[in-house]
């Protein structure tokens, strides 16, 4: 959940942010149904958010759900539970292309990029956007993320990773990329990465470089060799050792290998020499859309604040999903 104060002149600043790692897509499996425990965790997180946002004046609230709820066979059951248990909260389920579009808005408004490929790897989906001359040309949402890739491919367990599992995982991801005809046009362009797993790469590397504010990764760059080296360090360790890697959250240690396999794979696919990390994605994209709507209605001026680092964000809005 991020809260943003919007002034009459169009300037804005983030005043609050809260985050809970709920893994809403956990154990969906072949049934495609959200499971009881993840739903309970998510609703508890939303109740905590309510205690914060319900105290705010002049509130415009927007809550969205992404891949886990979008793909769930029991989507209505979950949304009804949220409405019933979280004080009438209505969650909008956005499509994969809408999610990718909001990623584009969040990136293009806060990073100096003109031509790039944007990749957002979440728990249950991966969004890709080809940006040329500052405009989104093609976009897609692929049905894989850190949680479902781990559950599908890491058959020999999440402790000591098996080479055969990693091979089958990377091969499956590569085939999906091969099926995107337009992705070839992103050859040699920089990759802009967001999503919890991808951002963990940057945090690990910044810890290695002894950067004081290692979590402030917006605009941070890594070469392909740096990405490969961090990936190699992750997959060679068992689970207990991964939990001890500086910069890697213990909550992500079991799914991080599958979570960053797509970015390692796409950098080779694109022959991209560098990756730029973004803290701004869906929530910030929704904010910029909201600001444009307010300007069009004459409710605010045209001044724009800079949220190029993550100190500022979305309009009082929550992303209720897997992150």
Instruction: For residue 297, tell me if it sits in a domain.
Output: yes
Average pLDDT of the segment spanning 260-281: 96
Residues 208, 77 share a domain: no
The CA–CA distances, whole Å, from 22 to 45, 299, 321, 322 equal 8, 36, 8, 6
pTM for the model stands at 0.91
CATH number reported for the structural domain that contains residue 179 in this entry? 3.30.420.150
Give the number of other CB atoms < 10 A from CB of residue 308. 16
Residues in the chain: 323
Residues 266, 176 share a domain: yes
Instruction: For residue 104, tell me if it sits in a domain.
Output: no
Average pLDDT of the segment spanning 287-309: 82
Residue 312 binned pLDDT confidence (cut-offs 50, 70, 90)? very low
Residues 292, 233 share a domain: no
Residues 307, 184 share a domain: no
Over the stretch 106-135, which tens digit does the pLDDT of each residue have?
Answer: 999 999 999 999 999 999 999 999 999 999
Q: Give the C-alpha separation, 175 to 48, whole Å.
A: 41
Residues 73, 12 share a domain: yes
Residues 286, 270 share a domain: no
Q: Are 181 and 240 in contact (CB under 8 A)?
A: no
Look up tokens 């600001």; give the residue: 291
Q: Please classify residue 292 by burial: count the beta carbons closer than 10 Å to its beta carbon, then call 0-12 exposed, 13-18 middle and 19+ buried.
A: exposed
Instruction: For residue 102, tell me if it sits in a domain.
Output: no
pLDDT of residue 247: 96
Nearest CA to 280 out of 132, 102, 122 is that of: 102
Distant-in-sequence contacts of 202-211, Cβ < 8 A, 24+ apart:
202/277, 203/247, 203/248, 204/230, 204/233, 204/234, 204/245, 204/246, 204/247, 204/248, 205/230, 205/247, 206/247, 207/246, 207/247, 208/246, 208/247
Q: How many domains does the chain have?
A: 2
Nearest CA to 12 out of 286, 319, 245, 297 is that of: 286
129: its two tokens: 């956007």
Range of the domain at 80: 2-95+282-319
Residue 316 binned pLDDT confidence (cut-offs 50, 70, 90)? very low
CATH number reported for the structural domain that contains residue 302 in this entry? 3.30.420.40
Residues 116, 24 share a domain: no
Residues 221, 171 share a domain: yes
Residues 303, 159 share a domain: no
Instruction: For residue 185, tell me if it sits in a domain.
Output: yes
The whole-chain average pLDDT of the chain stands at: 92
């Amino acid at each position: 959940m991020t809260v943003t104060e919007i002034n009459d002149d169009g300037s804005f600043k983030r005043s609050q942010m809260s985050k809970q790692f709920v893994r809403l897509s956990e154990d969906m499996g072949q049934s495609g149904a959200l499971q009881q425990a993840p739903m309970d965790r998510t609703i508890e997180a939303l109740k905590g958010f309510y205690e914060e946002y319900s105290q705010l004046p002049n509130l415009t609230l927007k809550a969205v759900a992404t891949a886990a709820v979008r793909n769930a066979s029991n989507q209505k059951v979950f949304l009804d539970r949220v409405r019933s248990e979280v004080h009438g909260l209505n969650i909008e389920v956005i499509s994969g292309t809408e999610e990718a579009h909001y990623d584009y808005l969040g990136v293009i408004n806060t990073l100096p990029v003109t031509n790039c490929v944007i990749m957002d790897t979440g728990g249950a989906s991966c969004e890709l956007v080809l940006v040329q001359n500052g405009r989104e040309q093609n976009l897609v949402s692929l049905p894989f993320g850190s949680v479902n890739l781990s559950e599908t491919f890491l058959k020999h367990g999440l402790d000591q990773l098996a080479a055969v599992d990693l091979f089958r995982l990377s091969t499956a991801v590569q085939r999906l990329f091969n099926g995107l005809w337009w992705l070839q046009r992103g050859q040699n362009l920089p990759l802009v990465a967001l999503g919890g797993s991808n951002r963990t790469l940057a945090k690990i590397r910044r810890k290695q470089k002894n950067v004081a504010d290692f979590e402030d990764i917006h605009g941070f760059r890594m070469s392909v060799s740096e990405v490969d080296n961090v990936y190699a360090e992750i997959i060679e360790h068992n689970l207990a050792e991964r939990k001890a890697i500086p910069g890697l959250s213990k909550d992500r240690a079991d799914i991080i290998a599958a979570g960053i396999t797509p970015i390692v794979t796409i950098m080779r696919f694109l022959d991209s020499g560098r990756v730029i990390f973004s803290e701004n994605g869906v929530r910030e994209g929704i904010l910029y859309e909201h600001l444009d709507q307010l300007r069009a209605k004459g409710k605010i001026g045209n001044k724009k604040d800079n949220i190029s680092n993550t100190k500022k964000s979305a309009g009082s809005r929550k992303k209720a999903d897997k992150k």
